[in-house]
Amino acid sequence: MNVPEISCEELYQKLQNNDDFDLIDVRETEEYERANIEKARLMPLGTLPDRVFELDADREIIVHCKMGGRSAQAVAFLQSQGFKNVRNLTGGIQLWLDSPR
């Protein structure tokens, strides 16, 4: 399954423009508490199947984790559940924190 991605620069621009989308962080609580992207909602990967009903399949959804692996799994899962407009943040929060803004 194809996992579409979004760059840190594109995400930054969307945040600056106050675009309407959901940003989902699939890391664990401890990781989220150490560093997070302000608009992100914590939804650890292991809880996603039980919480998928909290997401609107008609909205744009951007998913991130630490480096992109777990979020790619989350994107693939969401796609399997009928979500069409969902993307993975390239490089995860690690690249986000290292990216100039």
Contacts 24+ apart (CB under 8 A), 31-40: 31/66, 35/93, 35/97, 36/93, 37/11, 37/64, 37/93, 37/96, 39/15, 40/64
Q: Give the residues of the chain that fall short of pLDDT 70.
A: 1
Could you give the number of structural domains in the chain? 1
pLDDT of residue 77: 97
pLDDT of residue 1: 61
CATH number, domain with residue 19 = 3.40.250.10
Catalytic residue chosen out of the listed positions 11, 65, 75, 89: 65
Domain that holds residue 15: 5-98
Is there a catalytic annotation at residue 65?
Answer: yes
pLDDT of residue 99: 86
